[in-house]
Structure 1
């Protein structure tokens, strides 16, 4: 029987992914992804690059956590919804926002896109992520040498579950803090679900 994971199980797996990625703990990927999971990307910007296909939890951990952590820190990835909604096909689609620092330049990096998750069975029959498609719609770099804007923007947004109204209000409040904060305006609205492939 191909039943969808409960909302609490899906939430736990998705929060596990963020702990691995945002806190740079690649070893945690194996706790939420199946050993043979697949990761794919579609990228609508030239500002960041990833391989189009990654297979297996160890390779996913390397791509999304270890290699990523060499380039970026102070990362917060937000799910733009209140709760994950898993359909009868064990799929879950949600927009995301990321706010982080690029290590080599000190720039604030802000991006948005859509996650497409597929849940299945992992080790010992437990629920696991078996496929993840990441659509990257936009990824901007903003000069922020003292990381003041990074701290202010992250402080304006509830983490990691960010309902659309909280995104809109949080970004609006951040933009109101200064004339150099207008770069965040395109991120006030989530990426459109139809733009993911």
Structure 2
């Protein structure tokens, strides 16, 4: 049996690295994804059912638009148990425009007790900011220096680029 921690790490690796085949390891076949998007800067369906559909939306279609993706779960990894919640931060660039993107929100995970795979995931997107091309390199260098994928909250302030939008995101996650 795998752990919820391992399932979360596998999901992050699948999404950030455009590896749709890994979703079947992280999610049950009948998993449910719900999304609450509190910004007009990005859109996703409100509900997605099944690991294959989740893989399509969160990995394959996502990878068509974005690259250089770094997703961080803020705080310590989950201990034993079937549920876990954490804040998240994402830094990436748009393939079509070369613009930088940074956002944050919350993950609420529920694992199947018999497998440790995710059976329910609720993603809340609180903010997603589009930034100029000249911010891509400093944002991605900052992201690359952070512990991945589990980032202690206090590390978010280290070597942060002097970009107002990133300061606001970091403050919101403090």
TM-score, length of structure 1 as denominator length: 0.82
Residue 182 (1) aligns with residue 164 (2): yes
Alpha-carbon distance in structure 2 between the residues aligned to 1:61 and 1:14: 14
By how many angstroms is 1:188 displaced? 1.2
By how many angstroms is 1:86 displaced? 5.5
By how many angstroms is 1:187 displaced? 1.5
SS of the counterpart of 2:111?
strand
SS of the counterpart of 1:68?
helix
SS of the counterpart of 1:51?
coil
| Equivalent of residue 68 in structure 2, options 63, 74, 85 | 74
Q: Which residue does the alignment assign to 2:119?
A: 130
By how many angstroms is 1:85 displaced? 4.2
Instruction: State how 1:65-144 maps to structure 2 within 5 Å.
Output: 65-85=59-79, 90-121=82-113, 125-144=114-133
SS of the counterpart of 2:42?
coil
5+ residue gaps, structure 1, are: 193-197
More deviation, 146-155/107-116 = 146-155
Q: Which residue does the alignment assign to 1:156?
A: 145
Alpha-carbon distance in structure 2 between the residues aligned to 1:160 and 1:145: 25
* Counterparts in 2 of 1:189 and 1:146: CA distance versus 1, 3 Å: closer
Contact 2:34–2:47 (8 Å) recurs in 1: yes
Contact 1:45–1:137 (8 Å) recurs in 2: yes
Residue 24 (1) aligns with residue 18 (2): yes
Structure 1 or 2, whichever has the larger Rg, is 1
SS of the counterpart of 2:151?
coil
Aligned residue pairs total: 174
Q: What's the C-alpha RMSD, in Å, of the aligned pairs? A: 2.0
